[in-house]
Structure 1
Amino acid sequence: MSEHQLHPADGDRARELDRLILHSWSKHGSTNPFTVARGEGVRLWDHDGREYLDFSSQLVNTNIGHAHPRVVEAIQRQAAELATVAPATTNLRRSEAAERILSTIDGLAAVFFTNGGADAVENAIRMARVHTGRTKVLSHYRSYHGNTGAAINATGDHRRLGNEFALGHVHCFGPFLYRSEFWATSEEQEGERALQHARRVIESEGPETFAAILVEPVPGTAGILVPPPGYLQGLRELADRHGIVLILDEVMAGFGRTGHWFAHQHDGVRPDLVTFAKGVNSGYVPVGGVIIAEHILGTFRERPIPGGLTYAGHPLAAASIVATIDAMTDERIVERAAHLGADILGPGLRALAERHPIIGEVRGRGCFWALDLVADRGTREPVDASVVARLKALLLERGYVPFTADNRIHVTPPLVMGDDDARVGLAILDEALAALGSP
């Protein structure tokens, strides 16, 4: 910390000037007083010099940690060499970024770059509609796909409401045994009944009208909902039966988060399109994209894709992708995520559930976990927002940065976290839950 001087006055100034900003999904003026000055590895510091363990990975994207030296150096070198270039040009760094991305996934042929996750989803939907000549998109109610026109309408959660300006979106319930919509009593039943539900929705809406099925292989913001075995493969078969494009949204779950490069690789399913974004470079520079199967790419050999973005494949973003994937490969970061999930986080969180009745369910894999907090284990009634707010405050007081959503704490540290830091975080969680007491 000695070479990085932090000044409390800078924190005061940041908070004062923050009144000039309208923050995402917030009423103006209701900002978070937690002010971040710098980050390194799995740690953050405020302007007073106080240290925190980042168990949020911000928006579940700093997979490689904060200020990874190889990625920082690559961005600096690229900025000095070529800071920006038009997307229609050919640029070595952009080409290398596509090559690195395709090296992490089997059976896909090309990359279409975007500025972030929402417009990756937007363009994947567009590709599916052009490829099929159809319009409808089936997605889950428990989902989040971004805040642009089609992406927010494909989203199933409450943020869709008030933004429903795009047409052709149909929703169904995906599998979630703990809060089953299907009266299921086993993972097998839940998966079968969710597939039957999706089947009936498509049949009722007209299979010939559907361009795409769009799902997160592990829904993230909706609760880290690991699908039952066979569910994603069932969607693949349903799509094949009716000539529908299967789009897998890997914006949050991709690039090592679940212990594989992509979450769908746990299930052996073959997508037609895969959307990605922040995890590919830990969000150091805004970037996203669509990974495209050869048969979809064939459509755009015959006709131009009807869209593009000024910053698509931006050189700084491309350089950060190359450096990130190289570092993740060399340092075996995806394998580390798998180890943390199997050996530290999973067992540790389940042990917390045994001690704290407020934890109704623990679910996840890799560095992607959720604690479903309940007022009563018998009824599974979720705790209210005030309980989660108190727990969040208790965690921040103890130097732990949490990710909270609805009645849940999501445990999503950077994939580079060491075993000892992971255990420290679990101990802080234990202490905060004890201090919280009964909901």
Structure 2
Amino acid sequence: MEVTNDYVYQLDREYVFHSWSVQSQIDPLVIAGAQGCKLWDYQGKEYLDFSSQLVNVNIGYAHPKVIEAVQKQAQELSMIAPATANLARGEAAKRIIAHAPDTFKKVFFTNAGADANENAIRMARIFTGKSKILSGYRSYHGNTGSAIVATGDPRRIPNEYAHGHVHFFQPYLYRSEFYAEDETQECERALAHLRRVIELEGPDAIAAVLLESIPGTAGILVPPQGYLKGVRQLCDEFNLVMILDEVMAGFGRTGSWFAFEQFGAVPDLVTFAKGVNSGYVPTGGVMLSESISEFFNDHFFPGGLTYSGHPLAMAAIIATLDAMDEEKIVENAASIGANVLSSGLAALGEKHAMIGDVRGSGVFWALELVSHPETKSPLALEKVAAIKMDLVKHGLLPFVAGNRIHIVPPCVISKEQAMQGLNILDDVLGKHTI
């Protein structure tokens, strides 16, 4: 049987239930295959990926070393329970720790980013004997029990079943909650705000502060240089665990192995997923600092997952991290960000009045679209949707959230491909004036 776009589309609409959607209103794009930074459908139409799907395909599609490693592992040991020891899991953990600060000693593997955050929250509560978790309003931490309630964006509201969660505002100068005039003021006032939240919620009741190092889905909100360092100081002062969510920002996305490395603050727990093996086989995890790791040497940890450290996922991690080292993929992400995207997106911002703000690092950028540059009124969502459709029509896959276009291609993208994407953005935005 010849497979066609129409057949795959009808198959999907008849049998597949989609996330975050009203089922009758969705119109999924059909994809047949992918290689590097490009995808295509069954008719041969190609797309340049500026989304990395859900900001996770850091190493690009069908990387031969990762594919080979997964195939080899499937032949040797395709599945094993997490209570056993196996070579792939140990080597994967060893490589992750090798790229982390010296304070980290062990890795707890999960199935994805959401349950990584669930287990980091669990660890912090047990370690401190306290229950409250503070997290930002502009955040996304996953769609499971505690993770979705720790999430700040409105998707948490119909899912608020977990207890002990408190939210606060992080720095975001373009739409400052603190009436700040510059990054220094924004940082100082955001930290003062967090201090008051800690004091009023009670330090003796708070287990941890959970933050995305750079909030991703919320808008790629790069914090001022002193902010994460200030949060670290507050956690030390009030005896709180600092958890940094690197699920989206980690493993090369920002031009460094971990985004927090760029801000001079080292957390106690780090959650990860996505880029650690580009999602070739689902996985995630928590990196534990030495103090928390040693605590559990003598205290029971009440958590586990059937597929924790799944051998196929571990093989994909090993091959991904080795390839990223050998092929200097993290360095490529940094170079593309500094030499192509930074200046190219800034130029688009100068040219197109609907671009209110440009921000990012590495291959982790956002264009915030507005209807009035002076008032900063967000561009209407139906207009953003029309821009997205036009970009796809022109062969560019964007990541769109709210009134923002996120520029998040795979870390392996070439200068020529990055320029191609910028040119498509330029052409399409020029057709959608405000």
TM-score class normalised by the smaller sequence = over 0.9
The alpha carbon displacement at 1:304 in A equals: 2.0
Aligned twin of 2:329:
333
Aligned twin of 2:9:
15
SS in structure 2 opposite 1:386?
helix
Aligned twin of 1:58:
53
Corresponding position: 1:122 with 2:109: no
Aligned twin of 1:199:
195
Q: Deviations over 1:149-207 (max 9, x none)?
A: 10001000010001000000000000000000000000000011000001001100111
Aligned twin of 1:83:
78
Query: Structure 2 counterpart of 1:221, which letter?
Result: T
Aligned twin of 1:28:
23
Q: Which of 253, 271, 276 is the matching residue for 2:272?
A: 276
CA RMSD of aligned residues (A): 0.9
**Structure 1 ranges of 4+ moved more than 3 A:** none
Where do 1:175-186 residues align within 5 Å?
175-186=171-182
Corresponding position: 1:264 with 2:260: yes
The alpha carbon displacement at 1:10 in A equals: 2.8
Query: Structure 2 counterpart of 1:199, which letter?
Result: R
Corresponding position: 1:419 with 2:415: yes
SS in structure 2 opposite 1:237?
helix
The alpha carbon displacement at 1:389 in A equals: 0.5
Paired with 2:385 and 2:151, the residues of 1 have a C-alpha distance of 25
SS in structure 1 opposite 2:296?
helix
Query: Structure 2 counterpart of 1:390, which letter?
Result: A
The alpha carbon displacement at 1:32 in A equals: 2.7
Paired with 2:294 and 2:210, the residues of 1 have a C-alpha distance of 21
SS in structure 2 opposite 1:213?
strand
SS in structure 2 opposite 1:109?
strand
Q: Deviations over 1:204-224 (max 9, x none)?
A: 011110000000010000000
Paired with 2:295 and 2:24, the residues of 1 have a C-alpha distance of 48
The alpha carbon displacement at 1:27 in A equals: 1.0
Paired with 1:414 and 1:29, the residues of 2 have a C-alpha distance of 31
SS in structure 1 opposite 2:34?
strand
Paired with 2:83 and 2:6, the residues of 1 have a C-alpha distance of 44
Paired with 1:45 and 1:84, the residues of 2 have a C-alpha distance of 32
Q: Which of 38, 52, 55 is the matching residue for 2:33?
A: 38
Aligned twin of 1:103:
98
SS in structure 1 opposite 2:158?
coil
Q: Which of 170, 187, 197 is the matching residue for 1:174?
A: 170
Corresponding position: 1:371 with 2:350: no
Q: Which of 25, 43, 58 is the matching residue for 1:48?
A: 43
Paired with 1:437 and 1:214, the residues of 2 have a C-alpha distance of 39
Identity, % of aligned positions: 59
The alpha carbon displacement at 1:96 in A equals: 0.2
Paired with 2:134 and 2:294, the residues of 1 have a C-alpha distance of 23
Paired with 1:303 and 1:184, the residues of 2 have a C-alpha distance of 45
Corresponding position: 1:138 with 2:130: no
**Unaligned regions of 5+ residues in structure 2, if any?**
none
The alpha carbon displacement at 1:299 in A equals: 1.5
The alpha carbon displacement at 1:317 in A equals: 0.1
The alpha carbon displacement at 1:303 in A equals: 1.4
Paired with 1:310 and 1:253, the residues of 2 have a C-alpha distance of 26
Paired with 1:287 and 1:34, the residues of 2 have a C-alpha distance of 25
Aligned residues: 432
The alpha carbon displacement at 1:409 in A equals: 0.2
Q: Which of 238, 243, 251 is the matching residue for 1:242?
A: 238
TM-score, reference length from structure 2: 0.99
SS in structure 2 opposite 1:162?
helix
The alpha carbon displacement at 1:420 in A equals: 0.4
SS in structure 2 opposite 1:402?
strand
SS in structure 2 opposite 1:185?
coil
The alpha carbon displacement at 1:30 in A equals: 2.5
Paired with 1:281 and 1:257, the residues of 2 have a C-alpha distance of 12
Query: Structure 1 counterpart of 2:39, which letter?
Result: L
Q: Deviations over 1:305-357 (max 9, x none)?
A: 10100000000000000000000000000000000110000100000111100
Paired with 2:117 and 2:89, the residues of 1 have a C-alpha distance of 20
Paired with 1:291 and 1:336, the residues of 2 have a C-alpha distance of 25
Paired with 2:433 and 2:222, the residues of 1 have a C-alpha distance of 29
Q: Deviations over 1:64-101 (max 9, x none)?
A: 00000000010011111111001100000000000010
Paired with 2:99 and 2:414, the residues of 1 have a C-alpha distance of 24
Paired with 1:291 and 1:358, the residues of 2 have a C-alpha distance of 41
Where do 1:211-250 residues align within 5 Å?
211-250=207-246
SS in structure 2 opposite 1:305?
coil
The alpha carbon displacement at 1:31 in A equals: 2.5
Paired with 2:384 and 2:47, the residues of 1 have a C-alpha distance of 19
SS in structure 2 opposite 1:302?
coil
Q: Deviations over 1:355-380 (max 9, x none)?
A: 10000000000000000000010000
The alpha carbon displacement at 1:13 in A equals: 1.6
TM-score, reference length from structure 1: 0.97
Paired with 1:387 and 1:369, the residues of 2 have a C-alpha distance of 20
Paired with 2:24 and 2:32, the residues of 1 have a C-alpha distance of 20
**Unaligned regions of 5+ residues in structure 1, if any?**
1-5
Aligned twin of 1:398:
394
The alpha carbon displacement at 1:11 in A equals: 1.8
Paired with 1:109 and 1:32, the residues of 2 have a C-alpha distance of 45
The alpha carbon displacement at 1:29 in A equals: 2.6
